[in-house]
Amino acid sequence: HSVEVWCLNIISLFSGAGGLDLGFEQEGFCPVLACDIESAAVETYNYNRKGTIAHIADLSSVTGDDIIRKINKLKLNKLPRGVVGGPPCQYFSNGNRSTRNKNDPRRILPINYASTLRRLNEEYELDFFVMENVYGLVYPSFREDLEYIIKMFEEAGFRVFHDVLDAYDYEVPQFRKRVFFVGWSK
């Protein structure tokens, strides 16, 4: 007889090489689709997982419907229950102060994440999402951006919580503050 292994399917957006996903995998979550614009990151992601979960996708233009079509082609036994990801964050980075431009397209990537999340939630009735970004997003100078991003997550159907965590406090040998957004289905 076979033993069924518990696994909760998730979608990964702005997945990079899969570091955030790895933490979820270690806790029993299964990424069924990962998307990132960088081909080297997608190659690394798939190489480390011995599969083709990750795909090259420009998430500034790919829609929730595009993601849904890709997932439907997978013919999954269980639908996705959550979404994780970390949109590029250079616009909000403290290291970008001298060259910051309000028209930087990376500024709206968290909003693209929220829009895609909304469509995925309509389709799959998700339980949660997690998004991580640079600590700079919570600086007073980005208050309007932060409030708008939270509003978009709420409109996508989630109760949203956010906090700044430092990797050092979790036994990682570096000081690395990041802001995490966690949303639970309303």
| 7 carries an active-site annotation | no
Query: Both tokens of residue 110?
Result: 């968290």
The length of the chain, given as a count of residues: 186
The residue annotated as part of the active site, out of 7, 30, 35, 89, is: 89
What secondary structure does DSSP assign to 80-133, as a single string?
A: --EEEE----GGG-GGGGGG--TT-GGGGHHHHHHHHHHHHHHHH--SEEEEEE
Q: For 12, what's the count of Cα atoms within 13 Å in the CB-facing half-sphere?
A: 30
CA 180 to chain centre: 10
Catalytic residues, by residue number, are 89
